[in-house]
Structure 1
Amino acid sequence: MKRFFILLIFLPLVGFSQSNNDTIKVWKFGGDASINFSQVSLSNWSAGGKSSASGTFLFNAFANYEKDKVSWENSLNLGYGLMKEEGDQTVKTDDKIDFSSKYGLKGKSKIYYTLLFNFRTQMTNGYKYPDRDNAISTFMAPGYLTLALGADYKPNDKFSLFVSPLTGKMTVVSDDDLSDQGAFGVDPGKKSRTELGAFLKTQFKTTVVENVSLETKLDLFSNYLDKPENIDIHWDVLINMKINDYLSANLITNLIYDDDVDIAVDSNNNGVIDDADDRSPRVQFKELFGVGLSFKF
């Protein structure tokens, strides 16, 4: 199953790589990859502390087609990070697979009638450290698939606003243990949960100052059939600061709120839940900052 989804992600990006001159004119390919790292080494350090090393790999690619009234945009975003502190085992700090595809037919003005597909999951097991025996997430647990039909407003290359009154969202939990627990909003013992609702996706990218770019994506989803007032949120922000052709600094933030995902509290960060019964939807936030090698293609 994993190989099938990997093929699904990469197919639009490579399917037209060998084509005639006409195809080259209407297709645009590109992207960037970077490896960010940090390291601290301490020896007889009187102030205390721990030696540590961490690294994050980021990969972003796009394949966009535009001819006559047809627009087809495909993007793939991958991220993976690890951290090792002295005396401790390696822990995961980032893990993301995010693929989007939008196929649109141009209508009046800057509006395209569009079909959107989005797929999100992760690569490897996730744990509530220091517990390494019980995975709390893994590949396709969860996996999110969204299929939406609507209108996409694209006044320029920097901004787009997609609105869909007809959207299907599926949450997949393929792991048996997590499925039995009813993780990520599925009924206990079930492998998936399907929702029907409205979806909004907006994207904006710009150059803030020379060598500093900003890109942000915001997804909002409301389930018609269950608490439509409780809106699921997925908001990504990327600030890229280019130092030279091969060095860059990145600031990345991710904010998630999913009304179907109950999260317990571990206030001491020791792997022990404060109150096992005190589980509720909560705002999830992650921030990454790194300096490292970068490459554009």
Structure 2
Amino acid sequence: MKPLKLLFLLAGLCILSTEARAQFSISKVTPKEADVKNKKDTVKEISAVTKNPFFSESRYRAERRKLRKERNTISCTVGLSLNQTGFDNWVGGGNNTFDAMASLLYVHTYARNKFNLTYSLDSKYGMNVISGKTFKNIDYFIINVNSGWAISKNWSYSASANLRSQWTKGFRSADDKTMISNFMSPGTLTLGVGLTYKVFNKAQNRTPFVMTINPISGSMLFVLSDTLSKQGMHGIPVGRHQKSSLGSNMRIDTNIPIAKGKLNYINYFYISTNYHDNTYVEMQNTLQVRATKIFSVDLFCRTVYNELQVTPRNKALQWNYKFGLGLSYVFKNK
């Protein structure tokens, strides 16, 4: 009887061990081809901004516009003055004259934290007509770019570029059609590094005084006209179109309103020293009396000292002044 009980006990243990092995065994399954095909991800990325239930797109755009306006300051002044004098059977005699001058002054300043960037375009162009003879009496443009990194309230490290030239051909006089200048003939490009001192008036939201000093600068003088180059004009050797030199320069810009903006004084002073053979000095003074928002009376004086430029009396100092009534309008973003 005991052997029979032992046999049944062994048979039960074998059955239990077989069922346990079946519970933990993993069968090999071969997937079908349809189950392993690549499928595109249909889940789209959702911006973190749109997840915010308090986000307003219109408010976001308004804040961006406000931020751009705070960082960018733009001012543009355009002007046009006309003068005419006529005589008919006038006992004192005289010549019929017509004079016109257009002006443009554009200044854009970008400021963010300690970095600032200012670029400007200053240009005037005037024509005279005397007894039917036409010739220009003023023609110039000045492009200035200045980038700075503030080191104090008023001072900053700076790097600047200055380009000066004229737009069209210039002749000796209305009777003598000998060409003496043309576009970029002469033209001067000056690059320099140094310091900039700037004063900002919060009450008037303007910068009345800016001074840039570049103790190290490189100057390139151009005469792109073949006619003038062959003559060796403006201090460049015969047959050459460009001449480079090292030196230093300083620029001062002043824009001061007087009598609550009814008068405006604008001054531009620039001096460039050449370590070789030339010193260039230019100063412009403009006094503007504003009668209305559109009409104004302007007194303009420009002085240039250039040792290399040929003048009618062979003197380095040149003067140009003008008094006129015309149209003037200022565009500002602030």
TM over 0.5: yes
Within the candidate set 144, 153, 172, 2:197 is matched to 153
Greater Rg over alpha carbons, structure: 2
Q: Which residue of 2 aligns with 1:197?
A: 247
In 1, are the aligned partners of 2:79 and 2:329 still within 8 Å (CA)? yes
- Measured against aligned partners, the alpha-carbon deviations of 1:160-183 in whole angstroms (never above 9, x if no partner) come to 221111101111000011111111
CA distance in 2, matches of 1:122, 1:37: 21
Q: Which residue of 2 aligns with 1:12?
A: none
Counterparts of residues 78-97 of structure 1 (less than 5 Å): 78-86=123-131, 88-97=132-141
Question: How many residues matched?
Answer: 261
- Measured against aligned partners, the alpha-carbon deviations of 1:84-135 in whole angstroms (never above 9, x if no partner) come to 122x311111111111111000013411100111111111100011345421
Q: Which residue of 1 aligns with 2:109?
A: 64
Shift in CA distance, 30/94, structure 1 to aligned 2, threshold 3 Å? same
**Given residue 129 of structure 1, which amino acid in structure 2 is its aligned partner?**
S
Tell me whether 1:292 sits opposite 2:326 in the alignment: yes
Q: Which residue of 2 aligns with 1:252?
A: 300
CA distance in 1, matches of 2:256, 2:225: 40
What TM-score results when the alignment is normalised by the length of structure 1?
Answer: 0.83
Q: Which residue of 2 aligns with 1:165?
A: 215
Q: Secondary structure at the match of 1:237?
A: strand
Q: Which residue of 2 aligns with 1:27?
A: 72
Q: Secondary structure at the match of 2:229?
A: helix
Counterparts of residues 199-214 of structure 1 (less than 5 Å): 199-210=249-260, 211-214=262-265
**Given residue 282 of structure 2, which amino acid in structure 1 is its aligned partner?**
H
CA distance in 1, matches of 2:167, 2:219: 21
Q: Which runs of 5+ in 1 are unaligned?
A: 1-19, 266-278
Within the candidate set 155, 171, 184, 1:127 is matched to 171
Q: Secondary structure at the match of 1:45?
A: coil
Tell me whether 1:239 sits opposite 2:277 in the alignment: no
Q: Secondary structure at the match of 1:261?
A: coil
**Given residue 139 of structure 1, which amino acid in structure 2 is its aligned partner?**
F
Q: Which residue of 1 aligns with 2:94?
A: 49
**Given residue 115 of structure 2, which amino acid in structure 1 is its aligned partner?**
V
Q: Which runs of 5+ in 2 are unaligned?
A: 1-63, 201-206
Within the candidate set 178, 183, 192, 2:228 is matched to 178
Q: Identity, % of aligned pairs?
A: 23
In 1, are the aligned partners of 2:119 and 2:143 still within 8 Å (CA)? yes
- Measured against aligned partners, the alpha-carbon deviations of 1:126-169 in whole angstroms (never above 9, x if no partner) come to 00113454210000101111111000011332112211111011
Runs of 4+ more than 6 Å apart: none
CA distance in 2, matches of 1:251, 1:217: 14
CA distance in 2, matches of 1:242, 1:130: 33
CA distance in 2, matches of 1:261, 1:57: 25
In 1, are the aligned partners of 2:100 and 2:126 still within 8 Å (CA)? yes
Q: Which residue of 2 aligns with 1:282?
A: 316
Q: Secondary structure at the match of 2:251?
A: strand
CA distance in 2, matches of 1:231, 1:124: 25
Deviation at 1:27, TM superposition (A): 0.6
What TM-score results when the alignment is normalised by the length of structure 2?
Answer: 0.74
**Given residue 171 of structure 2, which amino acid in structure 1 is its aligned partner?**
Y
Q: CA RMSD in A?
A: 1.8
Shift in CA distance, 231/143, structure 1 to aligned 2, threshold 3 Å? closer
In 1, are the aligned partners of 2:135 and 2:174 still within 8 Å (CA)? no
CA distance in 2, matches of 1:132, 1:57: 25
In 1, are the aligned partners of 2:134 and 2:174 still within 8 Å (CA)? no
CA distance in 2, matches of 1:193, 1:200: 21
